[in-house]
Amino acid sequence: MQLKQISPYCYEIPQSGSMNVPGRVFMSERMASALSEEEALKQVANVATLPGILTAAMAMPDMHWGYGFPIGGVAAFDWDTGVISPGGVGYDINCGVRLAGTGLEKKEILPAVERLVTALFQNIPSGVGSTGSVKLSVKEEMRVLREGGRWAVRQGLGEPSDVERTEDGGCMAEADPSVISERALMRGTRQLGTLGSGNHFLEVGVVDEIFDERAARAFGLFPDQVTVLLHSGSRGLGYQVCDDSLAFMARHVRTLDIQLPDRQLACAMIRSEAGRRYFAAMACAANYAWANRQILLHRARETFQQVLGIGPRDLAMHQVYDICHNIAKREEHTVDGKKRIVCVHRKGATRAFPPGHPAVCEAYRQTGQPILIPGDMGTASYVMAGTRTAMAQSFGSTCHGAGRVLSRKAAKKRSRGRAIHRELADKGILVKWTGRSTLAEEMPEAYKDIDQVVDAVHGAGLSKKVARLRPVCVIKG
Ligand SMILES: Nc1nc2c(ncn2[C@@H]2O[C@H](COP(=O)(O)O)[C@@H](O)[C@H]2O)c(=O)[nH]1
Ligand SMILES: [Mn+2]
Ligand SMILES: [Mn+2]
């Protein structure tokens, strides 16, 4: 696919054929010269054909092939004339990342790291189909779907400041549990407080470098500080909501006057009953994911206290932020100088709202929202902050991770004959895992170079670097 560089960190797929807008890929010249993402680029061009799309179909430097829409993709649709598509959100609805800082320095946990990782692995259920410490009746589950993170805090599984420091306060008000299938509800009753498999993780790390002192201070981060970074989503419930919605949308879209270049782009007009139902179901799954990550953080707090023999005051594990990277949101944006209500799809992309934005909680009004970018289990992860440039260029969005560079199959092949856990241990990183092929599929080389991805979004101005975290120990599903 022909790409035209339009600014130092932005490349355009020119509008042609049935595209309603151009495609735009944010990356560095170095990444562009080594780009081998033909399929993902084709998907960007496909998304550009959808009705009501505004400005451009976009992709971040962590992009790779996904179901219908690329992972690392951002697409905003006019609320009145545009569509909403489950493929633009992904199967793991509100898959996201939560970061907590502690009052501890690295040297204070080093003698206990082995015990800490063992206890975290015992206390936090992980793996495909794992069930959790919280069992819900369907009636109680309905409350979770309506209330999100707030439900967990009401059960004593967290602190009010956790939800204040969560995107959307950990709850999408549009949730309507009456649209959720019986099967999705059943899958949700036993999985709250579980990590999931493969790419999902809980990682104890340390602040390795600070790039922006003022923002780091506002986020409660300092050099050598012990942190907890966790990545999980809406588990079987979210998967089932997506599956149900795709089956419905595949039939529904045939009743509309829309020509799709790919069946995986099945969608509904946002302002239709079908669109409303998907949005309401998606919001339920998003709320489930926030309750899930809230409980995971609570279990991490309990485990640290147990292993280190300290109380909550000495641990001082405070939430920095929680963000989603698989979601569709109703937001106001300025498009061609005019305020518009739009439906922003972020699939493997993160919100990056700037200083002063009313949706950013009080604590971060001066800095912009924190953005949490995990890299891989052997390298680094980043904390960034939202910018005005992101509002102007990418509907307030930035990247979500390093992004895969090897398929799971290719990673397994590359790891043959190697002991990934020993390679990590040689770097001082302890890892515990559940799945038989998890470590092979998730080895650091399976992901792009996180430094390059972050430097690209920083260079493009879509978010700015605040701090880098290095892993100390990791539990993986
Ligand atoms: N710090 C860690 N980062 C990791 C690990 N496993 C994956 N990752 C990164 O997270 C994102 C999540 O993206 P998703 O599309 O899979 O949800 C991924 O792109 C990696 O960069 C880990 O163990 N530790
Ligand atoms: Mn996920
Ligand atoms: Mn994810």
What was the pLDDT predicted at 419? 96
What was the pLDDT predicted at 114? 98
What are the C-alpha distances in Å from 467 to residues 97, 205, 215, 372?
16, 12, 9, 10
| pTM (global) more than 0.95 | yes
Nearest residue to 64 via CA among 73, 55, 53: 73
CA of 13 to the centre of ligand 1 (A): 27
CA of 198 to the centre of ligand 2 (A): 9
What was the pLDDT predicted at 129? 84
To the question of whether residue 164 is assigned a binding role by annotation, the answer is no
**Residue nearest ligand 1's atom 3 by CA:** 376
Among 376, 452, 474, the mutation site with the greatest number of ligand 1 atoms within 8 A of its Cβ is: 376
Nearest residue to 110 via CA among 423, 475, 473: 473
Kindly give the number of the ligand 1 atom that is closest to the alpha carbon of 476.
23
pLDDT digits (tens, 9 = 90+) for 335-375: 999 999 999 999 999 999 999 999 999 999 999 999 999 99
Q: Please indicate whether residue 203, judged by its CB atom, sits closer than 6 Å to ligand 1.
A: yes
pLDDT digits (tens, 9 = 90+) for 59-93: 999 999 999 999 999 999 999 999 999 999 999 99
DSSP per position, 205-226: EEEEEES-HHHHHHHT--TTEE
Told to judge if 64 belongs to the known catalytic residues of this protein, a careful annotator would answer no
CA of 169 to the centre of ligand 1 (A): 23
Per-residue pLDDT of the chain (477 residues; tens, 9 = 90+): 889 999 999 999 999 999 999 999 999 999 999 999 999 999 999 999 999 999 999 999 999 999 999 999 999 999 999 999 999 999 999 999 999 999 999 999 999 999 999 999 999 999 888 888 799 999 999 999 999 999 999 999 999 999 999 999 999 999 999 999 999 999 999 999 999 999 999 999 999 999 999 999 999 999 999 999 999 999 999 999 999 999 999 999 999 999 999 999 999 999 999 999 999 999 999 999 999 999 999 999 999 999 999 999 999 999 999 999 999 999 999 999 999 999 999 999 999 999 999 999 999 999 999 999 999 999 999 999 999 999 999 999 999 999 999 999 999 999 999 999 999 999 999 999 999 899 999 999 999 999 999 999 999 999 999 999 999 999 999
Q: Which residues contact 461 (CB under 8 A, 6 or more apart)?
A: 9, 387, 389, 390, 393
Among 124, 201, 232, the mutation site with the greatest number of ligand 1 atoms within 8 A of its Cβ is: 201
Q: How far apart are the first and last CA of the chain?
A: 36
Which ligand sits nearest to residue 196's alpha carbon? 2
Among 252, 298, 345, 400, the active-site one is 400
What CATH class has 4-476?
alpha beta
To the question of whether residue 92 is assigned a binding role by annotation, the answer is yes
Kindly give the number of the ligand 1 atom that is closest to the alpha carbon of 469.
1
To the question of whether residue 345 is assigned a binding role by annotation, the answer is no
ipTM of the complex, rounded to two decimals: 0.99
Q: What are the phi and psi torsion angles at 149 (to 5°)?
A: -60, -30
Q: Please indicate whether residue 31, judged by its CB atom, sits closer than 6 Å to ligand 1.
A: no
